[in-house]
Amino acid sequence: MIRSGLLEHVEGFVGGRWVGAAGGATFAVINPATGEHLADVPDLGERETRAAVEAGVRALQSPSSVDERRTWLRGIHQVLMEQRQELARIITLEHGKPLKESVAEVEYAAGFFSFYADQLGHLAARVLPGRIRNCRWTVHHRPAGVVGLIVPWNFPLAMLAKKLAPAIAAGCSIVAKPAKLTPLASVAFWALADRLGIPRGVLNLVMGQAGPIGQVLCSHPDVRVISFTGSTEVGRTLIRDTALHIKRLAMELGGNAPFIVFDDADVEAAADAMVANKFRAGGQTCVCTNRVYVHRAIEARFTEGVAARARRLKVGNGLDPDTDIGPMVNREGFDKVAEHVRDALARGAKRIVGDDPARPAEDWGCFYPPTVLTGVKPEMMVCREETFGPLVAISTFEDEEEVLALANGTPFGLAAYVCTSDVKRIERVVGRLRFGHVGVNTGTGPTPEAPFGGMKQSGFGREGGIEGLLEFCEPQTVACA
Ligand code: NAP
């Protein structure tokens, strides 16, 4: 069982109080590195979610000032930074990622609170110049109301922070639902936030039964925004289930990121960027490279560079400071990677790095070794679906038109990467890539200061930047005669 000063209560938080499930039902949180049973968490559902929404509605009856919200955001930033080691330990235990990545995740999460604390000026009413139609016109940004935030397991704290910080900044009441695999980072966050004097009902946390919780958030007329990060499949369900009440939605869905290396690229730098991007969180991020397209002329050099780097990565328990890649989050995640590798090999791909995973006695079954395949073809599963694991799948191309067609040949449009030294090509290629985030000569992902989100079936709405704040505001235009 996990012991932590931040997990004194392992419960939901509704209307300013810690709550368990009415019938006492719980679900288990398991350490994917060891199989250890970390905690029993209340299996909350419809009833608690409804109570959380109602608490949120009550909190909105005493609206907070911009100055109060700025203080809360700064306070949260501060406590996250002070407690980053302990929060990181909790993330590593429940998710499996290396501790150094968990620390980086906490710092990244904290960055959203400081960034939005500095953006509250954007909420000031805008007075239009002069008189129009004999009226004075003002545009206000009102809080959208109660908002439902649904978060995945791959960044248990950062995915929460990206939504929570702008929602608080906008003046909304929040009902957050973490993933069942990783609820403890959220519980620890609530323990910290509870010390900051934020009024009851502003921050509510419910974990447990995804279907019933989702149903209340979708069907309750007082929930005005649902911000969801997760699979395209669940996103589709939420879009359908919110149609009746015409809710505002932000959908951060799945990706299938291409990484394109042209023959004029710095090959060593491209290999560095791709490997850093691909293996973060064991390849379990939505912005991870899924398909690598390398120009035929530099294939051998690039592949060798990637293989050498992949062989150096150490797989192990995330608490070990030498670990570069932890376990997959669960056995299902492991099986998906194995299936993609099997499928590619059966269809003619060649394995350059990686063996069939060995199963030593201490391996609880979730560690997948870094794997590099060449000769990958568009019909293989690895090109059609997100692998969400440490698998590099390399294909070759001859020219720009061909690689653009390959890269864009997916229903998803979240992140893409291009390596080239030709400035004109950057302009040409980036403009035609249908992806919401494009890295040029870098594999870097999102940052609090910039909007991030998908095109096509990767969703709509943005997190980060001013755009992320406006997702939680209702513009109201007032014409005053
Ligand atoms: P998921 O299965 O869609 O789950 C995401 C969240 O939705 C979890 O909290 C889950 O709860 C909840 N959920 C599941 N069914 C629901 C329902 N019917 N109603 C309401 N909520 C429901 O996705 P995941 O496996 O956790 O995350 C991986 C996916 O997220 C990948 O496709 C990845 O690309 C995507 N992702 C996208 C971004 C982005 O910014 N675009 C970022 C990170 C991840 P339970 O855990 O209880 O099932």
- What are the residue ranges spanned by the domains of the chain? 5-253+458-480, 257-448
The pick from 182, 229, 331 for probing ligand 1's pocket by mutation, whose C-beta has the most ligand atoms within 8 angstroms, reads 229
249 DSSP β-pair partners: 226
The residue from 252, 386, 463, 471 that is catalytic is 252
Q: What confidence tens digit (pLDDT) does each residue in 405-445 have? A: 999 999 999 999 999 999 999 999 999 999 999 999 999 99
Mean pLDDT of 86-100: 98
Specify the CATH number of the domain 257-448: 3.40.309.10
What local confidence, expressed as pLDDT, does residue 175 receive? 99
The answer to whether residues 189 and 160 touch, using CB atoms and an 8 Å cutoff, is yes
DSSP for 364-399 reads -S-----EEEES--TTSHHHHS---SSEEEEEEESS
Percent of the chain clearing pLDDT 90 (strictly above): 97
DSSP for 337-349 reads HHHHHHHHHHTT-
CA–CA distance, 479 with 287 (Å, rounded to integer): 44
Q: What confidence tens digit (pLDDT) does each residue in 177-229 have? A: 999 999 999 999 999 999 999 999 999 999 999 999 999 999 999 999 999 99
Rounded distance from Cα 180 to ligand 1 centre (Å): 10
DSSP for 318-335 reads TTSTT-SB---SSHHHHH
The pick from 231, 336, 337 for probing ligand 1's pocket by mutation, whose C-beta has the most ligand atoms within 8 angstroms, reads 231
Beta strands 391-397 and 289-295 are parallel
Task: Reply yes or no on domain 5-253+458-480 having CATH 3.40.605.10.
Answer: yes
Rounded distance from Cα 461 to ligand 1 centre (Å): 16
> Two tokens at 244?
């009746």
What local confidence, expressed as pLDDT, does residue 4 receive? 97
290 pLDDT higher than 90: yes
What local confidence, expressed as pLDDT, does residue 355 receive? 83
- Pocket lining for ligand 1, CB < 6 angstroms: 150-154, 159, 177, 179-181, 210-211, 214, 229-231, 234, 237, 252-255, 286, 386, 414, 454, 458-459
Nearest residue (CA) to ligand 1, atom 42: 286
What local confidence, expressed as pLDDT, does residue 363 receive? 63
| Active site (annotated) includes residue 233 | no
User: What's the pLDDT band for 356 if we cut at 50, 70, 90?
Assistant: confident
Q: Which atom of ligand 1 is nearest to the CA of 234?
A: 3
Nearest residue (CA) to ligand 1, atom 39: 252
User: What's the pLDDT band for 362 if we cut at 50, 70, 90?
Assistant: low
What local confidence, expressed as pLDDT, does residue 360 receive? 54
Mean pLDDT of 262-271: 98
CA–CA distance, 80 with 303 (Å, rounded to integer): 40
Nearest residue (CA) to ligand 1, atom 9: 179
The residue from 48, 94, 172, 286 that is catalytic is 286
357 pLDDT higher than 90: no
358 pLDDT higher than 90: no
Mean pLDDT of the chain: 97
Mean pLDDT of 6-35: 96
The answer to whether residues 185 and 160 touch, using CB atoms and an 8 Å cutoff, is yes
| Active site (annotated) includes residue 383 | no
Rounded distance from Cα 336 to ligand 1 centre (Å): 16
Mean pLDDT of 144-158: 98
What local confidence, expressed as pLDDT, does residue 365 receive? 79
Q: What confidence tens digit (pLDDT) does each residue in 369-400 have? A: 999 999 999 999 999 999 999 999 999 999 99
Q: What confidence tens digit (pLDDT) does each residue in 308-342 have? A: 999 999 999 999 999 999 999 999 999 999 999 99
